[in-house]
Amino acid sequence: MIDDIKQKVKLAWDRKLSYLNLQEKFQEELTFAHSGGMWRADRETIGFLSAFENIEQMTVEDIYQVPRQVNPGELLEVCKQKYQFAANNWASEYARLSTVRNSNNV
């Protein structure tokens, strides 16, 4: 009994570690399949595609470095949706974690 209580008191929770894991999950949520390729909806891709938004077809390399024919406007829209969805999830989970005060509430 005493050992159980001691064990519970001793348990630690690392907030920073949880934030890092959350960030890792956010990065993974950014990947998606489209036009036969695999893409990452990161800021660089969104910025790049924005420069070609009005072109109908172009060749872009996906995350496997394979050149794919895409409609940049369409791909940009999906990228923006994915980014916003993942970032919103990240923010709400981050806010939840920031209220945790001890290991019991993790």
Partner 1 sequence: MPGYQQLETLIMSSGVLLVAFDSVTDQGSTLRYTELAKVCANLVRKNLKLPVGIVSDTKVDGFDEHVIVDKPVADTRHVAIGNVHQSYNWYNDYRRQLFNLTPFKRTLLLDVDYFLQTDQYLKCFEFDAPFQIINRVYDPTRRKSFDKYLTLPNRTIPQCWATAMYWNQNASEYFEYANMIADNYKYYSRVFGFSHKQYRNDMVFSIVSHMMSGYNMPWAMHMTSGDCALYDANDHGLKLQYSNNVIRVNSDVHVLNKNIMSDDNLNYLQNWSNNAN
CA dist., res. 83 & res. 81, Å (int): 5
Note whether 2 binds partner 1 by CB under 8 A: no
CA dist., res. 16 & res. 49, Å (int): 34
Using CB under 8 A, which of 1, 3, 57, 64 touches partner 1? 64
Q: Which residue has the tokens 């934030």?
A: 19
Instruction: Give me the least distance between CB of 26 and partner 1, in Å please.
Output: 10
Instruction: Give me the least distance between CB of 55 and partner 1, in Å please.
Output: 24
Note whether 25 binds partner 1 by CB under 8 A: yes
Half-sphere exposure of residue 57: CA atoms within 13 angstroms, side-chain side: 4
Using CB under 8 A, which of 32, 52, 90, 94 touches partner 1? 32
CA dist., res. 52 & res. 92, Å (int): 32
Residue 76, both tokens:
């940009």
Note whether 3 binds partner 1 by CB under 8 A: no
The single-letter DSSP state of residue 99 is T
Per CB under 8 A, residues contacting partner 1 are 7, 10-14, 17-18, 20-21, 24-25, 28-29, 31-33, 37-38, 40, 63-64, 93, 96, 103, 106
